[in-house]
Structure 1
Amino acid sequence: MSSVSVRIPTILRTYTGGEAEVTAEGATLRAVVADLEASYRGISARILDDNGKLRRFVNVYVGDEDVRFADGLDTATPAGAQISIIPAVAGG
């Protein structure tokens, strides 16, 4: 298993007990989200939609790479990778 570091946006910190960064396990983003859900019940519903796809208004980066332009939930998450979950901000 590869251990990665996940940056948690303020809006989701209620799930992580206020932690801004947590550690998760998984070789792909899908596995990392499943591991986050196992440790922080309810968090995956804020990241994934009812079809198990990334929500439209949530951007996820593995390192500097936007997973929407990589392999989505199948994007590799090598050991030591920094994953950032960034809710899109709407407005004008």
Structure 2
Amino acid sequence: MKRFFPELKAIPAAGKSFPEIFTELDQQYPGISSYILDEQGSLRKHVNIFIDGKMITDRKQLSDAFTSGSEIYIMQALSGG
């Protein structure tokens, strides 16, 4: 993701849901949520989200729970041979 958003760094988020977090990210990095989410608001196939070290299970509605102290990592999935 650094390739498209070279200034990308860890930031604290106040959002209590993934849509709120993506709104915050878009304010700092315009266009980043469209890189992460498809047109229906589901997680794109090439992106994974981890909450406190565990990959989320709901890639469509992004309803996995987290707390204000959770560490959330949004990562580009790697593939290849």
Bucket of the pairwise TM-score, normalised by the shorter protein: 0.7 to 0.9
Matched with 1:86 is: 75
Distance 1:78-1:70 versus aligned 2 partners, 3 A rule: farther
Identity of aligned residues (%): 28
Which structure: greater helix fraction?
1
Secondary structure in 1 aligned to 2:11?
A: strand
2:15 maps to which of 23, 26, 40: 26
Q: Contact 2:42–2:60 at 8 Å: present in 1 too?
A: no
- The TM-score with structure 2 as length reference comes to 0.79
Q: In the comparison of the two structures, how many residue pairs are matched?
A: 81
Q: Say which structure, 1 or 2, has more relative contact order (CA 8 Å, 6+ apart).
A: 1
1:53 aligns with 2:42: yes
- Provide Cα deviations, 1:51-70, integer angstroms capped at 9, x if missing partner: 11100110001111211258
Secondary structure in 1 aligned to 2:48?
A: strand
Which structure: greater strand fraction?
1
- The TM-score with structure 1 as length reference comes to 0.71
1:44 maps to which of 12, 33, 36: 33
Question: Would you identify which runs of 4 or more consecutive aligned residues in structure 1 move more than 4 Å?
Answer: 69-72
Q: Which runs of 5+ in 1 are unaligned?
A: 1-8
RMSD, aligned α-carbons: 2.2
Q: Which runs of 5+ in 2 are unaligned?
A: none
